[in-house]
A and B are shown apart, each in its own frame.
Chain A
Amino acid sequence: MRRRQPAGRPARGLEYLFPAAAAAGGLFTLAILAFLLVFGFPLLVDGRLAGLLLSPWEPDRGLFGIYPMALASLLLALSALVIGVPLSLGTSCVISTLAGPGLRRFLMHGVRLMAAIPTVVYSFAALFLLVPLMRRLLGAGSGLGLLTAAPVLALLVSPTMIIFFTNSFNRVERQVLLAADALGATGPQKLLFVILPAAWPGILNGMLLGFGRAMGDTMVSLMLAGNSPVVPGSVVDPARTLTAHIALVMAADFDSMEFRSVFVCGLVLYAMTGLLMLCFRLVAALGRRTRHERPA
């Protein structure tokens, strides 16, 4: 039998504080959604959500669609992943298997340091190093554009993915690795035939995390992507992302439709976060199931 000891009054108060704090944290998640809905409401009713998502941004003609921004966000995040995922996968292979123990520790610390570099510092350095370079390479324009922002964003999301990939590589079952060792497998062979196939849920989820982080970043796209609110015609064109749009439309008139559109951007980003989280959990659950079903 488990017997609970009588607790003093302050102690009992503490035991009420714990769930109250957790409930408050959960309420924040809902409160943010509520604020976005309430402030975006006039535009949502007026324009209908599908219309807003698919129409262009022409405030002079009364069009407050966020299609160009949504498209730019998606394009930029995807191109950051196209650059970042191979780099992160390769680096994770080195850290988890190919490097010796000394180098491994050094690299892990390096990745953590990389994760601690502020976004605004990355963007500031790239603004004065990469942008002039792009201007000279292209021979025209300001040098600001999707192609300038994408590699910097890739650099920004890489540590997240590397840490996640490496962790999932290290979680591959020990018996399987020992069996591979006993058969005389080399490091690269273990990676190719054992670790990479077994770690697919981790790889997929690392990419989801990286994608969410790339979509949600403000400073890189705000400072490097050029911010023009039209559909980009090519990868070198300037474009404005959803996050940059929120940062830029700070109209003095809080009742204007321009200002309302910012909350629709916020809602889209919020919905994306929720959706990514559900996908993340789905992949993790699928991964666990295949692990259990595999014959021992």
Chain B
Amino acid sequence: MNGLPEKLLTIFSWLALSALAAALVFLLGFLWMRGLPTLGPELLFGHTPPLDALLFRQQVFDGLFPAVCGTLLLVLLSMLLALPLGIPAGIYMAEYAGGRLRRLFNLFFDILAGIPSIVIGLAGLSLTIFLHRVFPGRVAPSLLVSGLALAMLVLPYLIRTTQTALEQVDPLLRATAPALGASRLQNILRVLLPSALPDITGGIILATARCAEDTAVIMLTGAVASAGLPGSLLDRYEALPFTIYTISAQYGSPEELAVGFGAAVLLLFLCMGLLLAALGVQRRLSVLLLYR
């Protein structure tokens, strides 16, 4: 039998859920209503012929094409920098580290995961200033610096997903190859990594989404409002989240604001798509989302 406290708890819980869902539906519905009509080739390419823009024959000045390209380049670069460090470090944490050293690394990675992204951006900026003093005139905030800082941002996620994915491998499977005479490394490379691959891949996709959506890091390390396409790694660049921020701060016309709504819907689609892909690939949800 349910008394008054039980009834109150039930009512409160369902109310809380409804309030949260309603707030979400309102915000996203509003974005959808304003953003959806703007979606189309003009949103990306403005008045430039799409084919010319795609073949880089003509600069796009009034569309999101440079921002989308910038975000893709940035994500690619930071994952290229983070993966060769994150996966091996995760393997070390799961298979080799022990005792006091393991506890120390655990603490370090937990802190790294918890550092606010703007502080990571600040560290990237100070690295630039430092390098600028050592090599005057050569280093400035750029795509490369942002890539480095974003790699630092997602490194702890990559380490943690690799680590948990490996630790969750079935103990029976884990013991099989060594029993047949395989070395520890052979066991890792031939048995453990392949069987943990779906979960690791899911983690990598989620880390990609984190790189694509982060605004605080890139606003300190090289993203600008209108740079066009970056010519090299040492150029400044445009990125989708930063474009959304600048348009919200200084839009001059309703058309410009509409581009902002279009960009927001585009970024939302990108992150949702990546999340759904990760959910499709992963067998069990990693701890990753907790840290975001």
Contact = CB atoms under 8 A, between A and B. Distances in A.
Interface of A: 4-5, 7, 11, 14-15, 17-22, 24-26, 28-32, 35-36, 38-39, 86-91, 93-94, 98, 107, 109-110, 112-129, 151, 155, 158-160, 163-164, 186-189, 191-192, 209, 212-213, 215-219, 222-223, 243, 246-247, 250, 254, 262-263, 266, 269-270, 273-274, 276-277, 280
B54 interface: no
A277 B111 contact: yes
Contacts of B93: 22
Contacts of A38: 126
Interface residues of B, number: 96
Contacts of B9: 93, 188, 191-192
A273 B109 CA distance: 12
B31 A121 contact: yes
A115 B289 CA distance: 7
B10 A188 contact: yes
A64 to B, nearest CB: 16
Interface centre among A119, A188, A250 (most CB of B within 10 A): A188
Q: Is the interface of A mostly helix, strand, loop or mixed?
A: helix
Nearest to A273: B114
Contact of B85 (A25, A109, A116): A25
Contacts of B7: 188
Contacts, number: 268
Contact of A218 (B5, B17, B213, B216): B216
B13 interface: yes
B264 A18 contact: no
B185 A11 contact: yes
Interface stretch (B21-29, B72-80, B228-236): B21-29
A126 B27 contact: yes
B17 A94 contact: yes
Interface stretch (B38-46, B55-63, B167-175, B265-273): B265-273
Q: Is the interface of B mostly helix, strand, loop or mixed?
A: helix
A271 B14 CA distance: 38
Interface in B209-225: 209, 212-213, 215-216, 219-220
B275 A18 contact: no
11 contacts: A15-B185, A18-B95, A25-B156, A32-B123, A36-B119, A36-B123, A90-B17, A117-B271, A121-B31, A209-B291, A219-B215
Contact of B119 (A7, A269, A280): A269
Contacts of B241: 118, 120
A152 to B, nearest CB: 8
A18 B84 CA distance: 10
A124 B182 CA distance: 55
Nearest to B27: A125
B16 interface: yes
Nearest to B14: A94
Given A24-B89, A112-B285, A247-B220, A7 B183 contact: yes
B88 interface: yes
B127 interface: yes
A25 B155 contact: yes
Given A32-B119, A243-B216, A247-B219, A128 B30 contact: yes
Contacts of A112: 275, 279, 285, 289
B118 A273 contact: no
